[in-house]
Every structure is written in C-alpha cells, then in structure tokens.
Structure 1
C-alpha cells in the first residue's frame, strides 16, 4: 500500500533545515503523506556534496531555493507560511530570528502554525556553537558507555543523535498536529540532539540517574558478544536468560558452563569468552546456522550492501531528472 495516500494527507510542511536531523524528520512526514516544501539557500543544501544521500532524504519533497537574507526572499517565504501547518528549522539558536523566520514572527502570519526547532543543545542552552553528531555523543557520555572512548580513537560511524533528534521531532510534530486538529492552536517545539540522544539510551541513563555504575550486562557479558568464526563474524545476544544460555553452551559442547548463573558469567567473562571463541573459530556460517537453528538469539554479520538490497521498503524514484533508490517509511499499515 502506498503511504503517500495515507495518514498525513493535507498536512503542509515547510522544511528550513540542512544536512540530517531536520530533513530526515521531514522525510518521515513526507513518507506518511504530508506535502513538504524544502527551502534551500541559493547555494543549495550542503548535503548535496553526497548526492545519493541528499536524494534519499529529500526525494518526494518540493525543492525551492530562496535567499532569506533579502526582502524579496522573506516575502516569498512568508506567503508559503500562510498556508502551512508546520515549519521545521535547524539553525543555531538566534539565527532564525536574525533572518526574520523565527516562531514569534511567523506565528503572527499564521496563528495555527506548528514550529519545530532542532538544535544541538536547545534554545536556552549556554552552548551555542555548531556541533555534529560525534560532538554530541561525546558530551552526552554515549561514547564513554559504548566503549569508544577507551577502545578506539575513531568515531562511531553511526549518526545516532542526528537520527534520534529527527525521530523525536517527528513524534512531537505529530502530537502537536493532533492537538491542532482539536483546538486549531499552533505550538512551538524545541528539540535538541543532546537530550534526544540521552533519552535513547534508557538502559544506561536510568542507571546513571540513580547513582548506579555502568550497566555491564552487555559490555562484560560473554553471551553478548561478536565472535570471529571461519570466514565470518557472529553476534550472540543472550542476557540473563537461563534457557537460551544453557541451550547455547550445550550445543557448543561447553556443558561445564551451561548452568552458570548470570552474575557468575560476568565475573568469569574472560574465561568463558575464550572457550566460546575457540569453539566458534572453527565453524563456518552454514555450520553455525545449522547448530543454532531458530531457538538461540544470534546473527551473522552481513555487509550493509546485501542488507539494503533485500530491504522491503527500498524503492526507485525519479529525483532531479535522475533515478535514485531510497527507502520509504518502514511500517506496513493495514487500514479498514
């Protein structure tokens, strides 16, 4: 079923954001049926330097270049705002006001406007410098709990706070839109990458908030590891689950560990991990799949290219006179 015919038909969104968080938030809204007009500066969205990423995030939107630093450009933008339900902007705090496209200004043009700002640390933070995902993950403690700070000097290579802030923004906009349908009233939404990232690691953050040490259920757990096998790597995902752990150990011929409790597993992690690694190192992908079947939590590491090629929500679209592949919103709706 085509999502463009569903859910958010009739919602009009203006995107005033570049790179990742704001544009990806608006991609979600577009995939769900909203009309999104993306405003680019005269030089274009800087993300155009990676054409395939730019196309994937922005296919399905109407693209319009406006110079907001000119009176003519602002007047054109204001005319769009008159008929909009939502504006999403991703400027640093204070920039939208300097350009004359802040919530206070636009809400006088459209009283029912939902205006969402996405920044690194929020409108009222003392930190106003430009940041990217790696800076936020470092400052939020996520690099530290993930082990990146102590094990590797490289970045995580997955833009976590960019993604989480875009999803938080989309959820918040939809909540405000439901309220608007009931009351006719607009809203100002202040989303930031830092808070969104922290909210998205609840297992660790709840521990820290309550004065507990780092959760070691994953980091020190020999049952929650990536092991090298013959010609591949395999991930094992067993927490305090005696049934899975016993089954896993017995199939590997490690009966002496089968009834070891969770806390003891953590305490004896090095010993157990070494023995598991020895067993798996001699097994290839097919042997692992045959041994573990469908009743042990595991997964073979696959190249992203292979996973993408099998993705059910991959689709080819026409974008700026070129055919490109992108993803649609990865949920199936069964409507009555």
Structure 2
C-alpha cells in the first residue's frame, strides 16, 4: 500500500501544546454522517466525545462495508477520537445513564426523529432542568414544525427537495451530487453553532438549544439559483462540466485523461491561443474572436482544442496552461487524490488506530493552527469504553453489573462480534428508508 507517512514531521513533535476544546465533554446519540461529522471535528479539537451506540450492532454505519482493513469506510472516517458507550436507551437503566451523562456534559448532540427525543427523555426542557449549562444540538431533516416536520429524511431526499439535483448532471439527466453534501453541510453548520454556543455560555453562564435542519443547510447553499429564479425568473441549465456563458470551459480530453480549465477573459484567450494552442490567428477569427462567438461555436471549438491535446499527456497540457497563466486542474479520481503530491508535500497525513489493533492513514482536518495539531485519536470498537464511562459516572460495580444483566448496557469483549452484528443489519438504503436506529426510539434523521 502506498504510504504517506513522514515520521519526522515537525508538526507531530510540537502537537497538542494547547487543545482548544480540552475539558469540554460532548455526548452524542448519533449515527451515519451529519452528527458524527460534527462531533468528530469537536474531538479533533480536543473535546471528549462519548458516542452513545445501540447495544445490538451500534451505529449502523459500522455495517456499511468492510473496505478499510475489515472496518466500515464511513465509520473510520467519522468516528476517530471518540469513546463508545453501548446503551439501550429504551430501558430504565439506560435512561438513568443518559441522565448522568447529561448532568456531566457540556454539549449533547442528537439526530433523533421528531418525538423520539421526548420519548427518550431527551427533550430540551427536561435536559435543561438537569443541567442549565448544557448545550443541546438537535439535527433533523426538516425542523421541528411545519408540514414536513414528521417526514423521514436522508441525504438524497434533501438534495432532491432542496432543488440541488435539478441543477446537477447533464442536460437530459439530473444527478445526485456524488458525496453526501446535505449531511456534510448539516454537520459542519452544527459544529459551528456549538462553538458559538460555547462562546455565548462563557458570557452568560447559560446553555443553548441549537436546531439544525438538513433542508435549511442546503437551502443556504442554494441562494444563488433561488435568487435567479425569484428576481429574474431564470434557471441554471444542467451543463455537466460546461458553462453556458463561457467558452472554453470544463473538461477537455488529453492523451491519457482530461484537464479542466476555463478562459475567463479576452486577455486569457489571447494567451491560450498563442501559448497553448500555438494558433494566434484564432484570437481575432470570425468564429472565436469574442466570448459570445466562442459560445455560439462551442462544439467546434472543443473539437479543435481536443485535437491539439490528443498527442499530449495531461501533465503536458497542465504545463502549457500554467505557462499561459490559465488556472487549471487535472480531472482526478479518488486514487489520484490519495497520492496527491500537494497533500504529501504539506505533511497532511497521519496514522489513526482502528479496532483490532491496526492503523490507517487519515488526513488532518482542513484548519491548521499554530501551536496545536488535531488530536486524531483511535476509532473505537463498539462499547469499548462502556465500563470506564459508567465508573466515571459513579455507578458502583454492582450497579454496572446490573446494567449489563438487564440489557441496559453492553460490556465490551472484542470488536469481532460487534462488527458481525452490524453487518447483519439491513443495507444502507433499507436503513435510510425505514429510519430505524433503536427500535422506535433512535430513529434515523441524519
């Protein structure tokens, strides 16, 4: 396997001089993507994150696949640095543990379906009565009121409902964005709101109730196309990688792949013709002498460009575009990003432990601090911290045994049975559509 590691990293030797969120306890009833992304970033910043999982398989994303050394791709990405507490929150014993967690926590994150939080005793007013300094962050699909409040939601549905799918894809084929952008946006907005709530608590001494809806998160990103419709009655046509107002624009085939670029103005067009195509006569031609003419003849222009690129490698074309001062990028695949020289040159890779004792390579978070490097702790096995967390919450040895015996908590043995149980869960689509996390209580609402 290709290795990114640089064991002599200066960043590693000076890491963790001061953790921004050290001393902050986050309790999260979470699954899949939005909430786990939020809390993983909080853990990276030094917060203690206690991940509350089902006793029968845990976070269902543990069972999505086994691509990463036998572990789930989603799970190892989103759950490093957390502690796993396996609870049955439907039982009286499980709820008693949650109450003590809430009393000890600074932040509680949940992505339960409407009504489920109240049934589990996790409504904001009750939590506030337990701990008035607690910041409660609720993630939902559509918010807590309105005609869609009770609808089930997951990423593809929010992409569709927000109009995002309608502006992506080719002219005759709308397409979902290839990664879960609704979940990603929601998780990051929730993290941002939690950090703001912590600052406000420092000023007022009071906690907060933060609510983030997936629809709201993507609606924020859709302002540009919405404004165009609302104030100009125009729509953004689906153009794949093309642009209906600029030419040349998008991906252009080379001998061994494709390069993405655009010509933004007439100065760049002159430079492109002279230094990239070697055809300065095109600068003032009838067909291509202005952007509007190039748009009118875009098919012919694209064919001309790709004929010139046919004998050139992508790296050759990139070099020509760089020489001409035209911004560009290679049309890379995930394998190319994995080996991207810019990531390696900036020492962006670290090792992270996974259940079973192995390690994987993971990227540092995007934000770089002076004097602090992200914590990036190991990925937890299901319930591996149950015993320690219960002890820290002042449950006696006898009480802990009673919680295990009653099925209110799961004692950690090793990861293999947990992963086997997770992999017996329904497939991802079935999980998303059924929205079931723990029977009726922990229903999916990423």
State TM-score, norm by structure 1: 0.90
CA-atom RMSD in angstroms: 2.4
1:48 equivalent in alignment to 2:73:
no
Of Structure 1 and Structure 2, the greater strand share is in: 1
1:272 equivalent in alignment to 2:301:
yes
Equivalent residue in structure 2 for 1:247, among 268, 271, 284? 271
CA distance in 1, matches of 2:145, 2:23: 33
Off by >6 Å, runs of 4+ in structure 1: none
Contact in 2 for aligned 1:12/1:86 (Cα 8 Å): yes
Q: How does 1:22-37 map to 2 (within 5 A)?
A: 22-37=35-50
Structure showing greater Rg: 2
Q: Name which structure has the greater RCO, CA cutoff 8 Å, separation 6+.
A: 2
CA distance in 1, matches of 2:321, 2:170: 30
**Structure 2 segments unaligned to the other structure (5+ residues):** 1-10, 66-71, 373-446
Specify the alignment match of 2:392 in structure 1: none
Q: How does 1:76-91 map to 2 (within 5 A)?
A: 76-91=97-112
CA distance in 1, matches of 2:37, 2:141: 15
- Secondary structure of the residue that 1:226 maps to in structure 2? strand
In the TM superposition, residue 224 of structure 1 has moved relative to its aligned partner by 2.5
1:137 equivalent in alignment to 2:159:
yes
In the TM superposition, residue 319 of structure 1 has moved relative to its aligned partner by 2.8
Specify the alignment match of 2:250 in structure 1: 225
Contact in 1 for aligned 2:89/2:120 (Cα 8 Å): yes
CA distance in 1, matches of 2:49, 2:223: 32
- Secondary structure of the residue that 2:93 maps to in structure 1? helix
CA distance in 2, matches of 1:335, 1:168: 25
Equivalent residue in structure 2 for 1:334, among 352, 360, 370? 370
Q: How does 1:76-155 map to 2 (within 5 A)?
A: 76-127=97-148, 128-147=150-169, 150-151=172-173, 155=176
- Secondary structure of the residue that 1:293 maps to in structure 2? helix
In the TM superposition, residue 60 of structure 1 has moved relative to its aligned partner by 0.4
In the TM superposition, residue 4 of structure 1 has moved relative to its aligned partner by 8.4
Equivalent residue in structure 2 for 1:19, among 32, 39, 58? 32
CA-to-aligned-CA distance 1:155-184 (integer Å, 9 cap, x gap): 432111111111111111111111111111
In the TM superposition, residue 261 of structure 1 has moved relative to its aligned partner by 4.1
Larger mean CA deviation between 50-59 and 285-294 belongs to 285-294
CA distance in 2, matches of 1:266, 1:102: 56
CA distance in 1, matches of 2:201, 2:146: 28
CA distance in 2, matches of 1:238, 1:8: 45
State TM-score, norm by structure 2: 0.69
- Secondary structure of the residue that 2:26 maps to in structure 1? strand
CA distance in 2, matches of 1:59, 1:158: 20
CA distance in 1, matches of 2:170, 2:131: 46
Q: 1:257 and 1:214, CA in 2 relative to 1: closer, same or farther beyond 3 A?
A: farther
Contact in 2 for aligned 1:38/1:64 (Cα 8 Å): yes
Q: 1:267 and 1:176, CA in 2 relative to 1: closer, same or farther beyond 3 A?
A: farther
**Structure 1 segments unaligned to the other structure (5+ residues):** none
